[in-house]
Chain A
Amino acid sequence: MNNAREIQDIKGVSTWSAFCATLRRDLVIALKRRNDLLNPIMFFLIVVSLFPLGISPDPVELSRVSAGVVWVSALLASMLSLDNLYRADYEDGSLEQLLLSPQPLYFLVLAKNIAHWLISGLPVVILSPLLAYMLYLPSEAYWTMVLTLLIGTPVLSLFGSIGVALTVGLGSRGLILAVIVLPLATPVLIIGAKAVTDVMVGLPVGSHFALLGAILALALTMAPLASAAALRISVN
């Protein structure tokens, strides 16, 4: 076996297997660190359940703000977990290895973003009907809310990734991450929350979904490229 160790150029692995391996790696890390997995969900639950206490337990008032509350909480929960995306990899040097892979960085970054969404975004989507029920969201708006979150939360992960990639090399980041990411995320928040409130008053919401879909398509194609470029700058 040892003398078969040949030294030659190897056109390595397929991009697809590198993509899958990166996705699996990030999911395994998240599963082994239960805190990372539970933090966004717990945060989402706590923030949403504070609103009835802070505003009023009155069903009419709550149902009016419910869509916005769920959406804002989902946005904040996504932001809370963003730092995990590249921080540990930057500190232990795995990020350098990622950048030195012959595979296109676009797909590796995309794999990491999808992993982040599966860990922090999808649980929020799944949990949202329960919280909507707590906030007296009218039942006809449930599906709209779940669907807007399903389209919107991946966008939050993808755009958030750009902000983290830009700031990962900075020692003290403080609020700078929020300053970068929130402007990118607000269109999604506005359209998502508006779609839910429109459905509550019986307005058509097709255009909202079209816009959200367009933003998701844009984010899927452009955001990983921007993240990749930002990562290269950060490790420089």
Chain B
Amino acid sequence: MPTSQQNPATDPPPLIQAQALFCERDERILFSDLHFDLTGGELVQIKGSNGSGKTSLLRILCGLNEDFSGEILWKGEPVAEVREDFLASMTYIGHRAGVNRILTPRENLRWSASLQAPADDKQIVEALGRLGLRAYEDIPCRNLSAGQTQRVALARLLISRASVWILDEPFTTLDVHGVKNLENLLAEHVSAGGAVMLTTHHPLSVNCKARALDLDQHRINS
């Protein structure tokens, strides 16, 4: 039941709402009583020093980490109850790119597409092309550089058609051109009504609505 709510004039409802999140690791509290919303048409950058729980927060949001208390709502409903719908509309790219070294970029993306959203070969080639991997479609990923492997992972964003992107340090290993390219993709996605939540230590310059969530302060700065 695709509920298309393409109405950029009014504020779209929050896609994700996090309420009273509390996470503890090795008897150290990473964050407690953390509240925030993620709405369509904005980018939220999670800031914080090393070890402040940025990665943990992202993994909690997408459901990979269950060691937390608090509530996460997807479009107003507890995420556990609408998990399928949530997963179909969310793409996560973590530290580990999720790219098999033996397979080619094309084969990797074909599998990713089959897991989440159907994409034909033309879309896959186009996505790889947009990330600067034209002519690399059929080269085993073990022969690609770290930056190129990261680009293969990022190509998933283009074929998944998910409305929420959760990205953990997506800029590491990308070159100057790749960084610019990704920033454009993020801005384009956000302008089209999508939502992005990412962590990065790279000074972000995106041409869209963006704000920061500082875990060191546990509050949202506009």
Contacts and interface: CB of A to CB of B under 8 A. Distances in A.
Interface of A: 1, 5-13, 17-18, 20-22, 25, 28-29, 32-33, 88-89, 91-94, 96-103, 108, 232, 235-236
Interface in B109-124: 110-118
B111 to A, nearest CB: 5
A90 to B, nearest CB: 9
B94 A96 contact: yes
6 contacts: A13-B117, A17-B118, A25-B111, A92-B101, A96-B92, A96-B96
B67 A18 contact: no
A230 to B, nearest CB: 14
B115 A98 contact: yes
Contacts of A28: 103, 107
Interface in B51-110: 62-67, 83-85, 87-90, 92, 94-103, 107, 110
Given A18-B114, A93-B94, A7 B189 contact: yes
B192 A22 contact: no
Task: Place the interface of chain B in its size category.
Answer: 35 or more
Nearest to B156: A97
Given A22-B111, A103-B115, A7 B194 contact: yes
Chain A interface helix/strand/loop/mixed:
helix
A21 B88 contact: no
Nearest to A103: B115
B176 interface: no
B55 to A, nearest CB: 12
B116 to A, nearest CB: 5
Nearest to A17: B114
B64 A100 contact: yes
Chain B interface helix/strand/loop/mixed:
loop
Contacts, number: 129
A9 B87 contact: no
A93 B95 contact: yes
A7 B192 contact: yes
A96 B116 contact: no
Nearest to A88: B100
B6 interface: yes
Contacts of B6: 6-8
Given A7-B161, A10-B117, A102-B88, A21 B64 contact: no
A94 B99 CA distance: 6
A197 B95 CA distance: 53
A102 B65 contact: no
A94, A108, A236 — most chain B CB neighbours (10 Å): A94
Contacts of A32: 102-103, 140
B50 interface: no
Contacts of B163: 7-9
Given A8-B6, A9-B163, A10-B2, A29 B103 contact: yes
A158 B51 CA distance: 38
B129 to A, nearest CB: 11
A222 to B, nearest CB: 22
Contacts of A13: 113-118
B98 A10 contact: no
A101 B87 contact: yes
B2 A97 contact: no
